[in-house]
Amino acid sequence: MITVAVLTMSDKASKGERQDLSGPMIGDMLKVIGAEVKYYEVLSDDKEIIKEKLSKYSSEVDLILTTGGTGLSPRDVTPEATLEVIDRQVPGIAEAMRAEGLKKTNRSMLSRAVAGVKGRSLIINLPGSPKAVKENLSFILGAIPHAIEKIKGDTSECAA
């Protein structure tokens, strides 16, 4: 069983001015790999709060998926917060999401999403829109269980 924290970054949703559709969608999609969402929070786009939550949950779950805050607006700070928290990057995940996204829209190149490992937890930034979340997570979902096994110390043969 893969345990998960889902963090939605949205000033409007954190104030109750907008409903978060992406976070719950992530939880539904994770059922395919037998993952269980243990924690779900909607946060404001505040770098220090994001860093605090990433650090906290990285010691409690196998996987942290963030949604939102990966674009170019001044309040989009999720990648910076993630980079300050992780121990090492897993650039192939974000590269794969951008490459797949470019098949649908040239706006995919504007994503600043990152992925990495903190302790024994994998952290992946996803876009904020439900459509983009579905497209991106669908593409990488199959690799997540293997990544988690490796992070936890599985030493069996790996193609990577």
* Of residues 64, 4, 59, 67, the one with CA closest to residue 33: 4
Give the pLDDT confidence of 10-66 residue by residue, as tens digits: 999 999 999 999 999 999 999 999 999 999 999 999 999 999 999 999 999 999 999
Q: Is 158 helix (H, G, I), strand (E, B) or coil?
A: coil
| pTM for the whole structure | 0.95
* Of residues 51, 3, 62, the one with CA closest to residue 27: 3
- Sketch the domain layout of the chain as residue ranges: 2-151
Select from 3.40.980.10, 3.40.50.720, 3.30.300.30, 3.40.640.10 the CATH code of 2-151.
3.40.980.10
The distance of Cα 117 from the centroid of its chain, to the nearest Å, equals 11
Strands 115-118 and 121-126: antiparallel
pLDDT at 125 over 90: yes
Q: Is 155 helix (H, G, I), strand (E, B) or coil?
A: coil
| Block residue for tokens 């199959």 | 142
Residue 47: count of CB within 10 angstroms of its CB: 16
The answer to whether 119 touches 91, Cβ cutoff 8 Å, is no
Element (H, E) at 13: helix 11-14
Give the pLDDT mean for 60-79: 97
